[in-house]
Copies of this chain bind each other. A is one copy, B any other.
């Protein structure tokens, strides 16, 4: 058990930090500090291509596919330095962190050659189509249909909460490909080009006034027969593997974003005197503790090589960060007081802390609600009986 980094790793940290700082002070200074996922997508695609051009796009991937074969420690370091430098989050994070690893794990050699270069290069942006209006947290209830028509899959149905679909190029969709199948059986994992007449993307405005999420409608949308991952009807296994990738190194970058938010709150409290309030001080301390424990929880998760039993740190991570951040949003508003409830100008657009307050209500819902997380923990880690399904 060791927390520190080696001198070589610290050298790597300096190299990464220097390069990122140089970019954020130079050519890409105009995007430094952007926090909203929806802000300036075109310019951010250019940035991600710049990352790729300098070998920083997917450092944990094999060299063969545009990565660096970076060690775990190096990935941890890069994620931290990336966020510390004020670089905006990856607009292609679904491609880099979900679609790419899924193709690397489950894809054929042809699929790797076809899709990985575009992801690594930052030229093909991906989004995911899992949730449906009547299957929010319930992947086994998917109704979007896929049928093989000659050498193409034809897809009909509707997905929802397709984050960033409006700036993406490709989407991977969980479909029901066997008519009459129920539950996890008969699902197929289909990859589709978004730029076609059979697909329509409509933004969903959120309570913070922004529109990161979308509804995506499929009406006779088409893709080549070999654009599926895994076997037809074998989509459940792929989807489950993909969800596991969500708990990777990227969490550390996400945490650095949280750090920025907590720092903003601390600065606001110092500025307006809330820092003298013992009640606020206790909550700030709790927030600080929670953030540190998230970091070390992620470290445990990443250091764990015993995959023979459920990883407690990994299984509890989603509910931990989501609940923490929602509480952080409330703390932010309590520090700001009524000042946090007004904004300059006529538009309903919020600064970082009020936006945190509003947006964080979604954190405990998307990607599996807190309720679903508790079911997973109870059933997978604690071995408690499964919830009965009404129709199975």
Contact = CB atoms under 8 A, between A and B. Distances in A.
Interface string A257-283: 000000000000000000001110010
Interface in A191-250: none
A236 to B, nearest CB: 27
Interface of A: 277-279, 282, 388
A278 B388 CA distance: 47
A14 B319 CA distance: 57
Contacts of A278: 277-279
Nearest to A277: B278
Contacts of A282: 279
Contacts of A279: 278-279, 282
Nearest to A282: B279
Contacts of A388: 388
A289 B76 CA distance: 49
Contacts of A277: 278
A279 B282 CA distance: 9
6 contacts: A277-B278, A278-B278, A278-B279, A279-B279, A279-B282, A388-B388
Nearest to A278: B278
A7 B70 CA distance: 85
A289 B43 CA distance: 55
A274 to B, nearest CB: 13
A295 B388 CA distance: 41
A330 to B, nearest CB: 16
